[in-house]
Amino acid sequence: MVRKGRRPNVLLITCDQWRGDCLSAAGNKVVRTPNADALAAEGVLFRQHFGGAAPCSPARACLYTGLYQMNNRVCRNGTPLDARHGNIALSARSLGYDPTLFGYTDVSPDPRTLAPGDPRLKTYEGVLPGFTVRQLLPEHQNPWLSWLKARGIDSSAGFPDIHRPADEIVGATTDGAVTTS
């Protein structure tokens, strides 16, 4: 409950590649997520939310801008977000909040706003305008990959290519369940 004259604190958590039903708070009988469940119990859990696009960067662009993919035009990872679109961080900042980032937003800046040769033109691991960066995690997958390696699981082969069709990767094999033409 918010006391009169006080604005609520807002904590927005977004996760990549995480099925919404993989929370015990959402009824999953196998997966145990006590910390996420505690947050859900004290806050708002969007039980009917769905991603506005796939893969991750286009989905985040929909969430950040409130626009459908056909309107924000971010159609794949690395597609620049048009600087003319507002976003959740800029809106929160205009209301007196200090939107603070712990993690990453993976936004490609609008090249029309940068000088030729700007190093930000070579990456899509940029920060959404409006955020104050507290803890940037541009290589967020490294702890997970180290955890797999410590258990004898080789995850290095083809890691950058995980979203490409197998027939485009030299030496890749498939079980035949998915075919491309």
Q: Which two tokens stand for residue 16?
A: 């990549």
Residue 161 within any structural domain of the chain: yes
State residue 178's pLDDT score.
Answer: 44
- Cα(65)–Cα(72) distance, rounded to whole angstroms? 7
Residue 178 within any structural domain of the chain: yes
Residue 39 phi/psi, 5-degree rounding, is: -60, -40
pLDDT in tens, 148-166: 788 887 776 555 555 555 5
CB 40 within 8 A of CB 49: no
- Cα(139)–Cα(155) distance, rounded to whole angstroms? 15
pLDDT in tens, 35-47: 999 999 998 888 8
Residue 160 within any structural domain of the chain: yes
Residue in the block written with tokens 């899509």: 124
Cα 28 to chain center, whole Å? 23
Q: Which of 15, 56, 62, 75 is catalytic?
A: 56
pLDDT in tens, 68-79: 999 999 999 889
Instruction: Give the residues across from 100 on adjacent strands.
Output: 132
Average pLDDT, the chain: 82
Range of the domain at 168: 141-181
- Cα(163)–Cα(6) distance, rounded to whole angstroms? 45
pLDDT in tens, 83-125: 999 999 999 999 999 999 988 888 888 999 999 999 888 887 8
Residue 18 within any structural domain of the chain: no
State residue 128's pLDDT score.
Answer: 92
Residue 179 within any structural domain of the chain: yes
The count of structural domains within the chain is: 1
Residue in the block written with tokens 């960067």: 57
Q: Which two tokens stand for residue 15?
A: 């996760």
Residue 176 within any structural domain of the chain: yes
Q: Is 56 in the active site? A: yes
CB 109 within 8 A of CB 128: no
Residue 151 within any structural domain of the chain: yes
State residue 171's pLDDT score.
Answer: 60
Residue 181 within any structural domain of the chain: yes
